[in-house]
Copies of this chain bind each other. A is one copy, B any other.
Amino acid sequence: MSTTAPSAAILAIGSEMLGPLRQDTNSLWLTGRLEEIGIPVVRKAVVGDDPASIADELAHAGRFARYVFTTGGLGPTADDVTVAAVAAWLGATLSRNEAFLEKMRARFARRGFEMPACNAKQADFIVGARVLENPRGTAPGFWAERGGVEVVVLPGVPSEMREIMEESVLPVLRERGGGVVWRRRVLRIAGMGESAVEELVAPVYARWKDDPVTILASPGEVQLHLAVRGAPDSADARLASMEADFRSVLGPRVFGEDAEDLPRVVGRRLRERGWTVALAESCTGGSIAAMLTDVPGSSDYFLGAVVSYANAAKEGFLGVEPETIRRFGAVSPETALAMAQGARDRFGADVAASVTGIAGPDGGTPEKPVGTVHFGLATKDGAALTKRRLFGGDRAVVRRAASVQALELLRRFLSGEES
């Protein structure tokens, strides 16, 4: 490691995570929170509920990292051996905490149950370790030290693990860190390919080559991850000018930052205008409506959608003229626009968007290959526009990219960038 900051290792404990079905995800959250306070994660491991493997990994990880975070294995069953294994590695004993046991019994009693005998072991505390209270669950965490390596023992239940970290661990580490932090910003762009974004930001990219910038692409969306490390104030300032620099070339192509997703941004734009929206979806099959209505409170502006898979549905529900479909085809700008206008009129919406295309694997022709998608948009004051895109990838990718593109078309229109 090029950094001299103390680093961390993460050990997820649980035999189920060594099978093909369950994955450790706690480490992603932990990594993010530790990075923010300047502690890089240098290794991650998963071992089964096996005392020898746990002890071995603690010893091994301790050679690379100042902090070792364990998650999982604090439950009441015979499988759960983390506390005993950590104690053994520390050379510490366990001691049953009677006051804690009493509290556990009382909690069960309040819910009308008798505490199962096996739960008692969750009151076995590691002698000499700091006990980390678990407000959301039964099993507490522990924080102990051996030979300069600190072990933080956390539950595997994500909400419990997070609360203990936020309440009892991160504040201490932040204090110790003397104020070295990571600051991050994600800039999100839709409706552009990865290489087009890359080309656009290349000159800026070169100016900030000392700070890590990562470009990540998913169907329909490209994200730029900016990161800066330093004292809080200077890191904030540097990140701000870095962000401004990238935004100066990306302009309004950035639809949101960090966790701000497109359905939320579209919803906010609609609220700002006091507008309602309706959709007419063909190849996206209801996905755009599902995305928009994922947002709590979306019923304030979302009136509804017609998923018009069959041509008869395009005619019956949206008033698309059979002649339009016959002359131009179901996948055409003309049909897309008629669908949008029909949705606008029949839902009585201020704006409506439509999608019709060929998601595949079948249905493509030489003139309209799989991945061809037409978009339409119509407003109550008569604005109308269409757009055509050709997406690569399989059915799922085309559907996803088309859904994102439709939302992006709405966003740009509502922001006054597209007309």
CB distance from A404 to the nearest CB of B (A): 14
CB–CB A45/B42 < 8 A: no
User: How many Å lie between the Cα of A14 and that of B43 in the bound state?
Assistant: 10
Known: A31-B20, A287-B290, A294-B396. A310 touches B316 (CB 8 A): no
User: How many Å lie between the Cα of A348 and that of B317 in the bound state?
Assistant: 12
Binds B, one of A140-148, A162-170, A298-306, A379-387: A298-306
Integer count of this chain's copies in the complex: 2
Interface residue? A346 (CB, 8 A): yes
CB–CB A307/B310 < 8 A: no
For A355-383 the 0/1 string (1 means CB < 8 A from B) is 00000111100000000000000000000
CB–CB A361/B296 < 8 A: yes
CB–CB B31/A313 < 8 A: no
A contact residues, total (Cβ < 8 Å): 72
CB distance from A35 to the nearest CB of B (A): 6
Known: A18-B31, A18-B43. A307 touches B285 (CB 8 A): no
Which of B225, B298, B307 is A305 in contact with, Cβ under 8 Å?
B307
Question: Interface majority SS on A: helix, strand, loop or mixed?
Answer: mixed
CB–CB B288/A395 < 8 A: no
A-B CB contact pairs (8 Å), 13 listed = A16-B214, A23-B23, A23-B28, A43-B53, A56-B60, A286-B288, A286-B293, A294-B396, A296-B360, A299-B309, A304-B309, A304-B310, A317-B346
Known interface pairs A18-B44, A43-B57, A296-B360; 16 further A-B residue pairs with C-beta atoms within 8 A, sorted by A's residue number: A17-B44, A20-B29, A21-B214, A43-B45, A56-B60, A279-B307, A281-B286, A285-B293, A286-B288, A286-B289, A296-B395, A299-B310, A303-B312, A304-B308, A305-B305, A313-B347
